[in-house]
């Protein structure tokens, strides 16, 4: 068996250029299996399809969300750049889903969505409304074939640069949850812009189901 620890440094970029970073380390393992006999006896390899629980949906990449105020926000998968920053979409109307997190339909882990709160050229973005969400309000996330409702359970301000101490925000382990992140005040240009991040945590209120509309 061959394995290694892959450390991924993730940074949520604020619209002003300020950022906060945290790291995540997961162990990824691969295993080589050899059949008995020689290569000539084995014949062509047959692809192996992982087993799934009967009735369990296949997890999918989230594609859109509906915020508590009814605003629809498209979602785009994002990776980390060479400097470790999360490539949050420049369009403030679009959120980025971190590929290292949970997908829609996964039974555990955090689905992390991040977007700019505002822009000097685009004004306020939809995620600005998250600064005033209340517990119990709903956020709906959809993919190509799935949809699921989440209820807000907490809103927290996290000082910029301290997210490494909060693995619940980004970890693909633990209870199933939706996590939305954007920048929050105060805004201090001399100190790099926004000084905090607002972190919204929401939990599923129902099982993931098929979409009733295209």
Domains and CATH numbers, the chain: 58-210 (2.40.260.10)
Burial group, residue 138, by CB count within 10 angstroms (0-12, 13-18, 19+): middle
What percent of the chain shows pLDDT beyond 70? 68
Inter-residue contact 147 to 139 (CB < 8 Å): no
**pTM attached to this predicted model:** 0.72
Q: What is the mean pLDDT of the chain?
A: 76
What is the mean pLDDT of the segment spanning 54-69?
A: 88
Q: Which tokens is 131 given?
A: 């600064």
């Amino acid at each position: 068996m061959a394995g290694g620890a892959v450390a991924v440094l993730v940074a949520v970029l604020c619209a002003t250029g300020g950022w906060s970073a945290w790291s995540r380390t997961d162990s990824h393992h691969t295993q080589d299996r050899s059949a008995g006999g020689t290569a000539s006896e084995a014949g062509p390899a047959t692809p192996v399809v992982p087993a799934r629980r009967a009735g369990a949906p296949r997890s999918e990449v989230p594609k859109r969300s509906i915020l508590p105020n009814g605003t629809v926000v498209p979602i785009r998968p994002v990776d980390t750049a060479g400097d470790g920053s999360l490539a949050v979409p420049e369009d403030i109307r679009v959120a980025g889903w971190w590929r290292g997190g949970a997908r829609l339909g996964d039974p555990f882990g955090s689905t992390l969505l991040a977007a700019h709160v505002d822009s000097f050229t685009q004004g306020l973005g939809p995620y600005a409304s998250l600064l005033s969400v209340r517990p119990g309000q709903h956020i709906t996330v959809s993919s190509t074939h799935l949809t699921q409702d989440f209820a807000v359970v907490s809103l927290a301000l996290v000082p910029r640069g301290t997210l490494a101490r909060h693995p619940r925000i980004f970890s693909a382990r633990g209870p199933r949850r939706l996590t939305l992140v954007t920048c929050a005040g105060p805004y201090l240009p001399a100190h790099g812009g926004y000084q905090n991040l607002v972190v919204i945590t929401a939990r599923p209120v129902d099982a993931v189901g098929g979409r009733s509309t295209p």
